[in-house]
């Protein structure tokens, strides 16, 4: 790979920037250029100048937060990998980050081993993607110019392959390869294509989003062409059973003058492979109508989850899957967002019952991000639900569970201005140090972070009442100083209490 990987680190804390720049083994990972910025505005400026492959950014920063910066960068550079850092598990921020396709989340204080492992995975994926882009450059130019008019397009084909004639018919297939193997082994796939389709009988070219087009002279029946394509897929799967291959073809041969339109048609078909069975040839047809989920589905899912009704939840997921499976005109981003929302309901319930750790949450979000088919996407949610109910069954009863009692203690005492961890430790007959270490190990956050999040959550509910003054709300959730309450609320949510209240009532008016 000729192009070196560029990493940009954006964080308003100098210590965090220094740790990431100096203590991640970037050179060993194959990264030669690492830059840093101290706020979102500076990060946006550098991103536009450098076009980094990976951006590691804090979420909450002055002038422009990480989410705002990422949205601006995404409009211009849709392929960057974003990794967000955050000291708080704020649901609104995470939901927004999911919508802009964040690659992963790292909670502060950062764990160098965890982030090094994540960087290793991301860099490997980037190397594979860039490797695909750099193969067969001459023929790549052919397909990146499909926006030419018909005359110029045909001329370009004839110049690239003089043996191609306008009076012949051609078959077209498009491949998108999700390869779980080192990039040098990717060549094995190319060899299979070359063996089955010699160069003199076809054009093979890859566009800039990794779709490989195969244009073959129509010297055989279409059914034979389809069988040969399926045989190629089987050979590829045999080499690497973890690989995922999307293939779309047109159900007839086309003339040279129709190649441009046909290439665009099979390109559209690649996206619809998300809804099809894995590693199967998809014959492109007109898209089915899009499916839009009723809001009642989310309410039902949340209710059944809180009630612990596993069978009903699985039936709901089964129905949802069937609806999407027969609606391949639906945007893949929309499908992903629906499943992300369901995942967040599960993760919130896991947290409220203190059943899981932050590492599990990051892993689930990452897997859902990387799911390339409807089947795999729905499978992540199903598996998460099963694990949730397994944890519920293994968990101690509320009477015996000390962490449930600690949660209840916080619920009962969060309004106290002089709340004391020492008093809490004495209540449970623990030393203060042991209580803090045990709580952090079990929940992934400190007691103070849990208390702050609880107070802010309670404040959000109170802010929905327009009759309550801000200083009254501050006092009701344990803050004697209204200005300090506003500062903490803004730090956790990214907006002031006043802005939260205004947005809530604006949303209510829209409904």
Helical (H) or strand (E) element with 176: strand 169-178
Determine the pLDDT at residue 137: 44
Determine the pLDDT at residue 142: 47
Query: What contacts 469, CB < 8 A, 6 or more positions away?
Result: none
Residue 393 CB: number of other CB atoms within 10 A?
A: 9
Work out the average pLDDT over 93-103.
Answer: 57
Query: 374 or 241: whose pLDDT is higher?
Result: 374
Model confidence pLDDT, tens digit, residues 311-336: 999 999 999 999 999 999 999 989 99
* Segment among 10-14, 495-499, 503-507 with least mean pLDDT: 503-507
Determine the pLDDT at residue 160: 60
* Segment among 70-84, 190-204, 291-305, 497-511 with least mean pLDDT: 497-511
* Segment among 96-105, 145-154, 237-246, 314-323 with least mean pLDDT: 145-154
Query: 239 or 172: whose pLDDT is higher?
Result: 172
Work out the average pLDDT over 365-374.
Answer: 85
Query: 426 or 107: whose pLDDT is higher?
Result: 426
For residue 280, name the pLDDT band (cuts at 50, 70, 90): confident
Note the CATH number of domain 5-131: 3.40.50.2300
Compute the distance between CA of residue 62 and CA of residue 82 in angstroms, rounded to an integer. Answer: 19
Residue 459 near residue 489 (C-beta atoms within 8 A) = yes
Compute the distance between CA of residue 362 and CA of residue 358 in angstroms, rounded to an integer. Answer: 6
Compute the distance between CA of residue 116 and CA of residue 29 in angstroms, rounded to an integer. Answer: 9
Cis peptide leading into residue 273 (ω within 30°) = no
* Segment among 142-151, 267-276, 392-401 with least mean pLDDT: 142-151
Residue 7 CB: number of other CB atoms within 10 A?
A: 26
Among 363, 360, 338, CA closest to 351? 360
Average pLDDT, the chain: 81
Work out the average pLDDT over 130-149.
Answer: 48
Compute the distance between CA of residue 59 and CA of residue 12 in angstroms, rounded to an integer. Answer: 10
Per-residue pLDDT at 184 exceeds 70: no
Phi, psi of 34 (to 5 degrees): -125, 120
For residue 359, name the pLDDT band (cuts at 50, 70, 90): very low
Q: At what angle do helices 374-394 and 332-352 cross, to 10 degrees?
A: 10
Per-residue pLDDT at 465 exceeds 70: yes
Query: 136 or 150: whose pLDDT is higher?
Result: 150
Cis peptide leading into residue 23 (ω within 30°) = no
CATH architecture type of domain 136-283: 2-Layer Sandwich (3.30)
Among 124, 218, 232, 114, CA closest to 180? 124
Compute the distance between CA of residue 3 and CA of residue 409 in angstroms, rounded to an integer. Answer: 56
Residue written as token pair 């000729």: 2
The top-scoring range by mean pLDDT among 85-99, 131-145, 382-396, 405-419 is 405-419
Query: 356 or 395: whose pLDDT is higher?
Result: 395
Per-residue pLDDT at 139 exceeds 80: no
CATH architecture type of domain 402-510: Orthogonal Bundle (1.10)
Among 320, 383, 384, 395, CA closest to 354? 395
Per-residue pLDDT at 101 exceeds 60: no
Domain ranges of the chain: 5-131, 136-283, 295-394, 402-510
Looking at residue 326, the DSSP 8-state letter turns out to be: T
Query: 495 or 4: whose pLDDT is higher?
Result: 495
């Amino acid at each position: 790979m000729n192009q070196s990987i560029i990493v940009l680190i954006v964080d308003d804390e100098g210590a965090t920037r220094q740790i990431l720049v100096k203590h991640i083994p970037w050179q060993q990972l194959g990264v030669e250029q690492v830059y840093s910025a101290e706020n979102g505005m500076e990060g946006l400026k550098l991103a536009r100048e450098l076009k980094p492959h990976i951006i590691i950014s804090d979420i909450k920063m002055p002038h422009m937060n990480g989410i705002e910066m990422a949205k601006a960068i995404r409009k211009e550079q849709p392929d960057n990998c974003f990794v967000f850092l955050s000291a708080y598990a704020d649901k609104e921020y995470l939901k927004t980050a999911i919508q802009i396709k964040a690659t992963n989340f790292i909670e502060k204080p950062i764990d160098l081993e965890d982030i090094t492992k994540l960087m290793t995975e991301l860099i490997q994926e980037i190397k594979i993607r860039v490797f695909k882009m750099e193969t067969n450059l001459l023929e790549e130019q052919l397909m990146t110019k499909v926006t030419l008019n018909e005359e110029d397009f045909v001329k370009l084909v004839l110049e690239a392959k003089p043996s191609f004639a306008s009076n012949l018919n051609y078959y077209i297939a498009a491949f998108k390869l999700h390869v779980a193997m080192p990039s040098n082994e990717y060549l094995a796939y190319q060899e299979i294509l070359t063996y089955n389709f010699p160069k003199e009988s076809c054009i093979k070219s890859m566009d800039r989003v990794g779709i490989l087009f195969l244009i073959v002279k129509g010297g055989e029946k279409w059914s034979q062409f389809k069988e040969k394509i399926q045989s190629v897929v089987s050979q590829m799967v045999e080499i690497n059973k973890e690989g995922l291959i999307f293939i779309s073809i047109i159900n007839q041969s086309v003339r040279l003058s129709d190649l441009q339109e046909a290439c665009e048609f099979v390109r559209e078909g690649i996206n619809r492979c998300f809804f099809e069975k894995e590693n199967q040839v998809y014959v492109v047809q007109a898209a089915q109508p899009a499916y839009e989920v009723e809001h009642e589905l989310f309410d039902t899912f949340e209710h059944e989850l809180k009630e612990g009704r596993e069978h009903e939840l699985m039936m709901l997921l089964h129905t949802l899957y069937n609806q999407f499976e027969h609606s391949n005109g639906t945007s893949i981003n929309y499908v992903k967002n629906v499943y992300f929302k369901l995942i967040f309901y599960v993760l919130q319930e896991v947290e409220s019952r203190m059943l899981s750790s932050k590492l599990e949450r990051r892993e689930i979000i990452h897997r859902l991000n990387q799911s390339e088919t409807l089947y795999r996407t729905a499978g992540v949610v199903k598996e998460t639900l099963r694990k949730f109910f397994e944890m519920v069954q293994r968990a101690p009863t509320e009477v015996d569970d000390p962490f449930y009692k600690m949660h209840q203690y916080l619920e009962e005492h969060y309004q106290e201005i002089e709340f004391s961890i020492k008093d809490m430790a004495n209540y449970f007959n623990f030393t203060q140090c042991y209580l803090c270490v045990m709580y952090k190990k079990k929940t992934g956050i400190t007691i103070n972070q849990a208390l702050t999040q609880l107070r802010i959550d309670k404040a959000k509910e109170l802010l929905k009442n327009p009759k309550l003054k801000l200083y009254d709300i501050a006092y009701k959730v344990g803050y004697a100083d209204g200005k300090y309450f506003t500062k903490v609320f803004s730090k956790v949510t990214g907006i002031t209490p006043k802005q939260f209240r205004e947005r809530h009532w604006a949303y209510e008016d829209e409904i």
